[in-house]
Amino acid sequence: MEKKVTVIGAGNVGATAAQRLAEKELCDVVLIDVVDGLPQGKALDLAEAAPIETHDARVTGSNSYEASAGSDIIIITAGIPRKPGMSRDDLLKTNMNIMKAVTSQVAKYSPDAILIIVSNPLDAMCHVAYDTSGFPKHRVMGMAGVLDSARFRAFIAMELNVSVESTHAFVLGGHGDTMVPLPRYSSVAGIPITELMSKDRIDALVARTRSGGAEIVNLLKTGSAFYAPASAAVEMAESILKDKKKILPCAAYLDGEYGIHNLFIGVPVKLGSKGIEEIIQIKLTDAEQAALNKSADAVKDLVSELKRLS
Ligand code: NAI
Ligand code: 2OP
């Protein structure tokens, strides 16, 4: 393939993203993980599925960053989940150190790449990747809004018994309890859902979207969601690789847009071959802006924690 994408972390999200990238024949894929044999084994398994899935994307696995050299995009999913006895600070510090180590390596081998961060806590990890890589802000972004919006869209389609393809939704803000689903900008065939559902039902879908990640964790018990997260990261990668210029909600570094400064948070952006080509500023009501500000405050708290732990 003409394009190359490296996925760091060959766990649930990383391996599923690699599968989707290859099966869509978007690029050659390199999987990298610290665990010996894991990326090699999953990559070989995916390569052996290629004749049946009928694609010619090359999928390889490695424990060495040399294999990632010259990537167009790096998707970072490396991290650990919170374990029993581990405090939130322990987790934040561990994932911060993993993100620093990973980013310095990928930046060395692919200095022109675009980074799509997936690891949690998402918005804070974007800051670590941005600071460590030294890449310009349009080449560092986080995946969360596409996932959260897809969840909102799925719930809207279930509620109204319509095709998911007819739905559109925007969820802005940080990837956490304070995320900001925007019913006014969420629609079915262009009709805002505020005209199609009662306020109570919209409130219920908004609440379900906010706890969408936890709902899956409670069901799976041993891990978090990965099919939809992988699809979301790949939608972002595809828009960049094909220069489609899709407008997608992504964690982007704001420098005054929406009145927010020096902070990664989810807003609509135009994604093309250069990365974030524009931050789209949609008009928010006072209540929506207040919700976005509250979400930004929650991200700022995490970023301050990172500084304290560094
Ligand atoms: P997982 O545990 O299945 O995979 C993580 C992988 O990272 C493991 O294979 C592990 O060996 C690897 N890893 C750990 N340290 C590493 C290092 N230093 N270098 C390279 N690889 C390393 O976890 P899963 O389900 O794939 O999730 C990955 C991350 O993505 C988590 O932080 C999770 O919370 C986050 N996530 C974020 C979402 C979002 O919306 N932004 C959605 C879903 C997951
Ligand atoms: C999710 O929203 C865990 O962030 C992850 O599913």
Q: Average pLDDT in the 188-215 region? A: 97
Q: Residue 118 C-alpha to ligand 1 middle, in angstroms?
A: 8
Work out the pLDDT band at 162, boundaries 50, 70, 90.
very high
Range of the domain at 160: 145-309
Same domain, 82 and 214: no
Q: d(Cα 23, Cα 29) in Å, to the nearest integer? A: 11
Work out the pLDDT band at 87, boundaries 50, 70, 90.
confident
Q: What is the per-residue pLDDT for 83?
A: 72
Q: Residue 77 C-alpha to ligand 1 middle, in angstroms?
A: 4
The verdict on whether 55 is a catalytic residue reads no
Q: What is the per-residue pLDDT for 9?
A: 98
**Closest CA to ligand 1's atom 20:** 33
Same domain, 150 and 293: yes
Distances (CA, A) of 101 to 54, 66, 97, 125, 164: 36, 14, 6, 12, 39
Neighbours of 274 (CB within 10 A): 15
Choice among 55, 127, 138, 175 that is catalytic: 175
Total number of domains in the chain? 2
Contact 120 CB / ligand 2 (< 6 Å): yes
Q: Average pLDDT in the 84-106 region? A: 89
DSSP states along 90-141: HHHHHHHHHHHHHHHHHHHH-TT-EEEE-SSSHHHHHHHHHHHH---GGGEE
Same domain, 219 and 158: yes
Q: What is the per-residue pLDDT for 250?
A: 98
Determine the length of the chain.
310
Q: What is the per-residue pLDDT for 143?
A: 98
The domain that holds 295 is classified in CATH as 3.90.110.10
Same domain, 164 and 93: no
Q: Average pLDDT in the 108-134 region? A: 97
3-state secondary structure 68-88: HCCCCEEEECCCCCCCCCCCH
Contact 216 CB / ligand 2 (< 6 Å): yes
Q: Over 80: is that where the pLDDT of 220 sits?
A: yes
Same domain, 149 and 293: yes
Instruction: Pick the last residue of a domain from 115, 142, 169.
Output: 142
Ligand 1, closest atom to CA 120? 32
Distances (CA, A) of 2 to 5, 15, 32, 123, 183: 10, 21, 20, 31, 40
From 87-91, 94-98, 122-126, the region with the lowest mean pLDDT: 87-91
Same domain, 14 and 126: yes
Q: Residue 100 C-alpha to ligand 1 middle, in angstroms?
A: 14
Same domain, 85 and 116: yes
Ligand 2, closest atom to CA 147? 2
Q: Over 80: is that where the pLDDT of 81 sits?
A: no
The domain that holds 111 is classified in CATH as 3.40.50.720
Same domain, 107 and 158: no
Q: What is the per-residue pLDDT for 166?
A: 98
Burial level of 241, CB count in 10 A (0-12/13-18/19+)?
A: buried
Same domain, 171 and 121: no
Contact 250 CB / ligand 1 (< 6 Å): no
DSSP H or E stretch at residue 297: helix 286-309
Instruction: Pick the last residue of a domain from 75, 110, 142.
Output: 142
Q: d(Cα 163, Cα 240) in Å, to the nearest integer? A: 26
pTM: 0.98
Same domain, 64 and 179: no
Instruction: Convert the pLDDT of each residue in 227-282 to its tens digit.
Output: 999 999 999 999 999 999 999 999 999 999 999 999 999 999 999 999 999 999 99
Q: Over 90: is that where the pLDDT of 45 sits?
A: yes
Instruction: Pick the last residue of a domain from 142, 169, 196.
Output: 142
Ligand 2, closest atom to CA 175? 4
Query: Count of H helices and E strands in the chain?
Result: 9, 14
Same domain, 60 and 22: yes
Q: What is the per-residue pLDDT for 269?
A: 98
- 86 sits in the region (left: phi over 0; alpha: psi -120 to 50; else beta) called beta
Same domain, 66 and 185: no
DSSP state of 173: B
Q: What is the per-residue pLDDT for 310?
A: 85
**Closest CA to ligand 1's atom 31:** 119
Q: d(Cα 309, Cα 94) in Å, to the nearest integer? A: 10
Q: What is the per-residue pLDDT for 82?
A: 72
Q: What is the per-residue pLDDT for 89?
A: 74
